[in-house]
Amino acid sequence: MYNFSYHKPSRLEEAVEILSSTEDAKILAGGQTLIATMKLRLAGPSDLVDLGEIAELKAILKKENNIVIGSMTTHADVAGSEIIKKQIPSLAHLASEIGDQMVRNVGTIGGSVANNDPAADYPAAVLGLGAKVITNTREISGDDFFTGMYETCLLPDEIITSIVFPIPTRSSYIKFKNPASRYAIVGVMVAETHNSVRVAVTGAGSSVFRVKAFEDALGTNFSSNSIANLKVPHDDLTEDMHASSFYRAHLVNIMAQKAVATAK
Amino acid sequence: MSVSISFKINGEQKVSEIRENTLLVDFIRDSLKLTGTHIGCDTAQCGACTVHMNGKAVKSCNVLAAQVDDADIVTIEGIASTDGEMHPMQEAFRSHHGLQCGFCTPGMIMSALDLAGRNSSLDEATIREGLEGNLCRCTGYHNIVAAVKSGALNMSKNTK
């Protein structure tokens, strides 16, 4: 790993100040992707700004009809949170299936969302549950946040402070995972709110996406049967050693059906 | 360039100067000379480097030593009692033949302790799921699962 300057600010303003005054600084959240990437010298930031000391970024609370999760909340804390298990069980379940326990004890929701790995789980939750990403300067709709493979609309000196998930009437996340890495080969979040249904897919393409045809069909009739015969075009889906694009298209449909059947 | 870290290791408070890019596992092995924590894959997959950081299992090859400033670290060397009696989980691995070459064992035990701490009763499925992040290339896992089940049971008896 190349060396770097290490900063551990205790206030958000300090972190922003370091990021905006340094040429090639990176934010260190849990580091479960970043440190591995730096070890391979695929990343060599001049500075690391560790957000681990900023207390305000670690909280889970219910605010009106939303669950607000601080960006430095670990996957293990989301998976084990009584309030999330009660209000959005699909989200607690999703977090409980990320990587392994040691990764979940350190990795954070903010880090995962900002990294936008095409096979990560959280992007499906943000898009599927219609969440908002809150940064130090603005609120970003989940629909606008993810812009491409490993890309988001975040600016270099912008820090995610929390993510606001509206509580759905029912939802479910089902993934077909790679048994070794536990990344999603295909993962589907289905969520029903009072007036709409959202379906978000991770693992299948270059970035998380919604399936409008499923959403329309489920909006009329929320049952697995209503989407059973709807095909997802495979042209733009990922094709790799784990699964062909045809197979991924098939899995999107099957995982979506399972999610609908298990939504609660 | 260096940073100063203050931390607790196996109950003992220490202060060290480290280079910023030092990994926790290298710091534990090379500076603290606690070589029970192993480096297997060095890519955060095999779990041989598992230690406890503030009571939670982490893969020390994927954490910076700088991140443990103010933290409480426990390694495999820190779990037996001071008179040398093995921890119930270590004893269970011995009595159930839960190891062969032993390379993965420190990580297995540190993960198993995290798992036992979070679950009052451990069935086979929970144990296998909980040890997802630890790879063993010798045993086929069967005896490891039996060891963890028995170790966790003995731990809960000891606390009653």
Q: B141 and B121: one domain? A: yes
Q: Are A13 and A56 in contact (CB under 8 A)?
A: no
- Mutant choice from A5, A6, A93, A178 vs B, greatest count of B C-beta within 10 A: A6
Q: Are B19 and A3 in contact (CB under 8 A)?
A: yes
Q: Given an 8 Å threshold on Cβ–Cβ distance, is A102 in contact with B59?
A: yes
Q: B92 and B153: one domain? A: yes
**Average pLDDT of the residues in B28-41:** 98
* Domain count within chain A: 2
Q: Is residue B124 part of a domain?
A: yes
B57/chain A closest Cα distance in angstroms: 5
Q: What is the ipTM of this complex?
A: 0.96
Closest CB from B19, B57, B67 relative to A102: B57
Radius of gyration of chain B (CA): 16
pLDDT at A11: 97
Q: B69 and B118: one domain? A: no
**Could you give phi then psi for residue B29, rounded to 5 degrees?**
-80, -50
Closest CB from B23, B47, B56 relative to A105: B56
Q: Is residue B68 part of a domain?
A: yes
Beta bridge partners of A166: A66
pLDDT confidence of B160, banded at 50, 70, 90? low
Contacts of B44 in chain A (CB under 8 A): 32, 36, 102-103
Which conformational region is residue A164 in: left (phi greater than 0), alpha (psi within -120 to 50 degrees), or beta? beta
**Helix (H), strand (E) at residue B14:** strand B12-18
pLDDT at B120: 75
Which tokens is A189 given? 């979040």
pLDDT (tens digit, 9 = 90+) per residue, B127-157?
999 999 999 999 999 999 999 999 999 998 8
Q: B62 and B96: one domain? A: no
Q: B60 and B94: one domain? A: no
Q: Residue A179 is part of which domain span?
A: 170-262
pLDDT confidence of B119, banded at 50, 70, 90? confident
Half-sphere exposure of A94 (CA within 13 A, CB side): 31
Q: Given an 8 Å threshold on Cβ–Cβ distance, is B66 in contact with A4?
A: no
pLDDT at A88: 98
Which conformational region is residue A29 in: left (phi greater than 0), alpha (psi within -120 to 50 degrees), or beta? alpha
Residue A1: closest C-alpha in chain B: B21
Q: Are A118 and A238 in contact (CB under 8 A)?
A: yes
In chain B, what percentage of residues exceed pLDDT 90? Answer: 93
CATH number at residue A179: 3.30.390.50
Closest to A159 measured CA to CA, from A9, A5, A6: A9
Which tokens is A222 given? 């929320």
Q: Given an 8 Å threshold on Cβ–Cβ distance, is B132 in contact with A101?
A: yes
- Domain end residue (candidates: A54, A72, A93): A54
Q: How far apart are CA B96 and CA B109, in angstroms?
A: 13
Is B71 touching A (CB cutoff 8 A)? Answer: no
Q: Is residue A125 part of a domain?
A: no
Is B56 touching A (CB cutoff 8 A)? Answer: yes
pLDDT (tens digit, 9 = 90+) per residue, A187-202?
999 999 988 999 999 9
Q: Given an 8 Å threshold on Cβ–Cβ distance, is B133 in contact with A103?
A: yes
- Domain end residue (candidates: B23, B54, B76): B76
Is A106 touching B (CB cutoff 8 A)? Answer: yes
End-to-end CA distance of chain B: 50
CATH number at residue B148: 1.10.150.120
Is B50 touching A (CB cutoff 8 A)? Answer: yes
- The reported pTM is 0.96
**What is the full per-residue pLDDT of chain A (264 aa) written as tens digits?**
999 999 999 999 999 999 999 989 999 999 999 999 999 999 999 999 999 999 999 999 999 999 999 999 999 999 999 999 999 999 999 999 999 999 999 999 999 999 999 999 999 999 999 999 999 999 999 999 999 999 999 999 999 999 999 999 999 999 999 988 889 999 999 999 988 999 999 999 999 999 999 999 999 999 999 999 999 999 999 999 999 999 999 999 999 999 999 999
Q: Is residue A2 part of a domain?
A: yes
Q: B8 and B71: one domain? A: yes
Contacts of A106 in chain B (CB under 8 A): 53, 58-59, 62-63
Return the residue matching tokens 């606690």. B34
Is B43 touching A (CB cutoff 8 A)? Answer: yes
pLDDT at B158: 77
Q: B64 and B93: one domain? A: no
Closest CB from B20, B43, B57 relative to A36: B43
Q: B96 and B148: one domain? A: yes
Q: Are A141 and A87 in contact (CB under 8 A)?
A: no
Is B19 touching A (CB cutoff 8 A)? Answer: yes
Q: How far apart are CA A85 and CA A139, in angstroms?
A: 25
Contacts of A1 in chain B (CB under 8 A): 21, 23
Pairing status of strand B3-9 against strand B50-53: unpaired
Beta bridge partners of A172: A190
- Domain end residue (candidates: B22, B50, B76): B76
Q: Is residue A212 part of a domain?
A: yes
Is A3 touching B (CB cutoff 8 A)? Answer: yes
Q: B101 and B59: one domain? A: no
Q: Are A167 and A137 in contact (CB under 8 A)?
A: no
pLDDT (tens digit, 9 = 90+) per residue, A71-105?
999 999 999 999 999 999 999 999 999 999 999 99
CATH number at residue A39: 3.30.43.10
Contacts of A48 in chain B (CB under 8 A): 20, 64
Is A105 touching B (CB cutoff 8 A)? Answer: yes
pLDDT confidence of B87, banded at 50, 70, 90? very high
pLDDT at B157: 85
- Domain end residue (candidates: B76, B105, B122): B76
pLDDT at A181: 87
* Domain count within chain B: 2
CATH number at residue B29: 3.10.20.30
pLDDT at A80: 97
Q: Given an 8 Å threshold on Cβ–Cβ distance, is A6 in contact with B43?
A: no
Measured CA to CA in angstroms, residue A246 lies from A179, A182, A232 at distances of 20, 21, 9
Q: Residue B37 is part of which domain span?
A: 3-76
Q: How far apart are CA A114 and CA A135, in angstroms?
A: 11
Contacts of A50 in chain B (CB under 8 A): 66-67
Is A37 touching B (CB cutoff 8 A)? Answer: no
Residues in A 123-182 with any Cβ partner in B closer than 8 A = 180, 182
Measured CA to CA in angstroms, residue A257 lies from A177, A202, A203, B21, B110 at distances of 16, 15, 17, 46, 39
- Output the average pLDDT for chain B: 96
